[in-house]
A and B are shown apart, each in its own frame.
Chain A
Amino acid sequence: AQSVTQLDSHVSVSEGTPVLLRCNYSSSYSPSLFWYVQHPNKGLQLLLKYTSAATLVKGINGFEAEFKKSETSFHLTKPSAHMSDAAEYFCVVKRGNMLTFGGGTRLMVKP
């Protein structure tokens, strides 16, 4: 069985400050992990993915995530938040064609 826990349902940062969205996973095998972003009233867009290559994965819009097997974590970071980053972010674990989503973290960016 696989599961994903996003540790914060809401995160608020000021524009220009770092972003950290936390994700822990549970998987009985080597996982494929993803971060998706959902802007209001929009579909989900892939930010980045980890598929057992480099543990530090770079994605779009300056986001990156680090896979830490010992901590079963896949936290999403960005050095400097922009107003346009305000959205909901989902950590996802994949097995075969099945995606299991975390509960989501709503990122708010204050001017």
Chain B
Amino acid sequence: DAGVIQSPRHEVTEMGQEVTLRCKPISGHDYLFWYRQTMMRGLELLIYFNNNVPIDDSGMPEDRFSAKMPNASFSTLKIQPSEPRDSAVYFCASSFRDHEQFFGPGTRLTVL
């Protein structure tokens, strides 16, 4: 298995632009998680899905952030419009039931 796949690995954009981050979970996993890592706040859970349904989005910072999971093998995290303070590393993770979460390599986002 290739593990959790995220794309792009790096994204540089200008303030105000729309950013879309992508994640392919491990096949057979029924949970998918989006995390953000910053120097100031460490690792934070943004949202997680179970069987493609959002369960808890209380960590999503504001309405500029949205996440979807149209099917079991794909999820997106969208920021529109992006701001410099959104610069961070965004991780996707997946798990089977409440077992170990497997993390992707992350997307490093820089908003200028």
Contact = CB atoms under 8 A, between A and B. Distances in A.
Contacts of A54: none
Contacts of A70: none
Which bracket fits the contact residues of A?
Answer: 10 to 19
Nearest to B50: A97
B45 interface: yes
B95 interface: yes
B25 interface: no
Contacts of B101: 46, 99
Interface residues of B, number: 22
A99 B33 CA distance: 10
Given A99-B45, A104-B42, A49 B104 contact: no
Interface string B50-76: 100001100000000000000000000
A43 interface: yes
Nearest to B95: A97
Interface string B91-112: 1010100101111111000000
A43 B56 contact: no
A44 B103 contact: yes
Interface string A43-75: 111100100000000000000000000000000
Nearest to B9: A41
A45 B101 CA distance: 9
Contacts of B42: 101-104
B33 to A, nearest CB: 8
Interface in A87-111: 90, 94, 96-99, 101-104
12 contacts: A36-B103, A41-B105, A43-B4, A43-B106, A44-B91, A44-B103, A46-B100, A49-B100, A97-B48, A98-B48, A99-B33, A99-B101
Interface of B: 4, 31, 33, 42-45, 48, 50, 55-56, 91, 93, 95, 98, 100-106
Interface of A: 36, 41-46, 49, 90, 94, 96-99, 101-104
